[in-house]
């Protein structure tokens, strides 16, 4: 290990310094003046003559400090060389690695580069183009681990009553074979009950893709049982039901249009949107007339729309087609456009959009796993047969690719707990602080 000439100035940092230089041999020294160099200068690379110490070069990094790296001079041929400054580069790499991770996590949660720049001005100021560059380089280098031997599973609950006793039916269905993996009736559906039900019936060491309704609490249970091996998808049809319920039963054409634009995020609802758009101007005129006239008009308009929607359904059924799923690019774009207009929508819609944004990774998980299901349809069908109960502004393409990769990485469990904090990395610079 490097010999350190401890002085009153660097004495308090001896531990930090020995960590920094731990990989260097006894041949090196860190002088009382803070110069890193070989104790015995090397032989000249040109003529082989022993060189001598010849001052130092200073390397500075804003806000962090400066390092002095020894220079050598050959007395025979005049060749000048400099000691390797790996330790300094490594210190900077560690710090900027952590800064990049912080910025990447903010991006993962859809924070704009403008906001990241303003946050970073409290930590280590960097302009937003530099940040964008750091984040994008880092993302490019990260690899999404491939998923093999994955189990695709649907999970759902029913709440049947046995006499006056509330019961809970928990069901696990295999997505590929549509077979029931397990099904049990409980008196409670607290997280402990669900946890032990899952542990008893699934292989918690294998990667699992599991579809559920949008209720809170599942994610924590899944994490406890499967750790980072779980990919959790929220059922998109359940989302669509919630969207429909956000609107009053008697909607205006304007509200109906917003409803279908929300449904259009993940499914192709372009024909319905086009139909409603044609009625929008007429509705504005009709609303200026008497309320009796408007009521009669809206009744006819909504009737015509229901007929149209029903016609589309029949056509799909005849052709044995499903509602067309949007690709990730279109889904993200449709969502972003709605989010931009969010302020003009009624409160329930604004809340729904905020929720979709919050749950985005769980709503879009299926896009990143081959042949993954996006809905809990199989289990709904199973339940219904077994026990009945009750385009304005395109996003930057780079931004979308970044989001896709980030979501995939997150899903792959790449973002674990940090190894070091920003402070840990900062402390390493203390011996080099620029005191001038």
Catalog residues that contact Zn ion under the rule CB under 5 A.
44, 46-47, 49, 74, 76-77, 79
**Residue with Cβ nearer Zn ion (34 or 41):** 41
Which is closer to Zn ion, CB of 73 or CB of 323? 73
Our CB check for Zn ion shows the closer of 77 and 433 to be 77
- Output 42 or 160, the one with its CB closest to Zn ion: 42
Helices 291-318, 253-263: inter-axial angle, 10-degree rounding: 30
DSSP H or E stretch at residue 407: helix 397-411
Q: Minimum distance between the CB of residue 427 and Zn ion, rounded to whole angstroms?
A: 40
Task: Name beta bridge partners: 82.
Answer: 71
Cβ at position 74, least distance to Zn ion in Å: 3
What string of DSSP letters covers 33-63? TSEEEESSPPBPTTT-PBPEEEEEEEEEETT
Query: What 3-state DSSP class applies to 427?
Result: helix
Nearest distance from residue 25's CB to Zn ion, in Å? 23
Residue 173: name the closest of 311, 373, 395, 358 by CA: 373
With CA atoms as reference, report the closest residue to 433 among 96, 91, 119: 91
The pair of structure tokens assigned to 420 is 């070091």
Go through the chain and tell me how many residues it has.
436
Residues 6+ apart with CB under 8 A from 362: 219, 232, 233, 234
Residue 73 Cβ vs Zn ion, minimum distance, rounded to whole Å: 9
Cβ 28 to Zn ion, closest distance in Å? 21
Nearer to Zn ion, 46 or 274 (CB): 46
Q: How far is the CB of 37 from Zn ion (least distance, A)?
A: 18
Closest among 154, 397, 158, 365 to 266, alpha carbons compared: 365
Nearer to Zn ion, 22 or 46 (CB): 46
């Amino acid at each position: 290990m490097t010999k350190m000439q401890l002085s009153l100035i660097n004495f308090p940092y001896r531990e930090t310094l020995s960590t920094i230089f731990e990989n260097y041999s006894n041949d090196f020294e860190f002088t009382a003046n803070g110069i890193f160099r070989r104790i015995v200068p090397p032989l000249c690379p040109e003529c082989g003559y022993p060189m001598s110490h010849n001052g130092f070069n200073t390397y500075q990094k804003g806000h962090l400090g400066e390092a002095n790296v020894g220079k050598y001079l050959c007395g025979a041929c005049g060749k000048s060389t400099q000691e390797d400054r790996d330790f300094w580069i490594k210190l900077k790499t560690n710090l900027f690695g952590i800064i990049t991770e912080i910025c990447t996590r903010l991006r993962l949660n859809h924070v704009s580069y403008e906001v990241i720049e303003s946050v970073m001005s409290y930590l280590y100021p960097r302009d937003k183009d530099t940040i964008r560059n750091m984040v994008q380089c880092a993302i490019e280098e990260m690899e999404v681990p491939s998923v093999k031997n994955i189990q695709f599973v649907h999970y759902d609950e029913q709440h049947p009553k046995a006499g006056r006793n509330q019961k809970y039916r928990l069901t696990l269905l295999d997505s590929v074979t549509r077979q029931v993996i397990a099904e049990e009736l409980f008196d409670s559906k607290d997280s402990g009950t669900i946890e032990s039900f899952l542990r008893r019936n699934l292989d918690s060491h294998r990667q699992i893709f599991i579809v559920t309704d949008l209720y809170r609490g599942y994610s924590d249970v899944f994490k406890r049982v499967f750790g980072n091996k779980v990919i959790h998808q929220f059922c998109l049809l359940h989302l669509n039901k919630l969207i429909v319920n956000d609107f009053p039963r008697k909607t205006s054409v304007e509200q109906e249009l917003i409803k279908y634009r929300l449904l259009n995020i993940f499914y192709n609802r372009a024909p319905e949107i086009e139909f409603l758009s044609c009625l929008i101007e007429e509705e504005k005129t009709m609303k200026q007339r008497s309320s009796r006239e408007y009521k009669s008009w809206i009744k006819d308009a909504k009737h015509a729309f229901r007929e149209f929607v029903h016609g589309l359904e029949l056509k799909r059924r005849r052709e044995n087609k499903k509602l067309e799923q949007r690709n990730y690019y279109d889904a993200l774009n449709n969502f972003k456009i709605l989010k931009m207009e969010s302020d003009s929508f009624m409160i329930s819609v604004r809340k729904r959009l905020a929720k979709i944004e919050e749950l985005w990774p769980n709503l879009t998980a299926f896009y990143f796993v081959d042949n993954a299901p996006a809905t809990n349809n199989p289990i709904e069908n199973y339940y219904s047969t077994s026990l009945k109960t009750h385009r304005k502004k395109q996003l930057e393409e780079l931004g979308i690719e970044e989001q896709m990769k980030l979501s995939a990485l997150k899903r792959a469990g790449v973002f674990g707990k940090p190894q070091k904090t920003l402070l840990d990395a900062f402390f390493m610079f203390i011996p080099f602080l620029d005191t001038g």
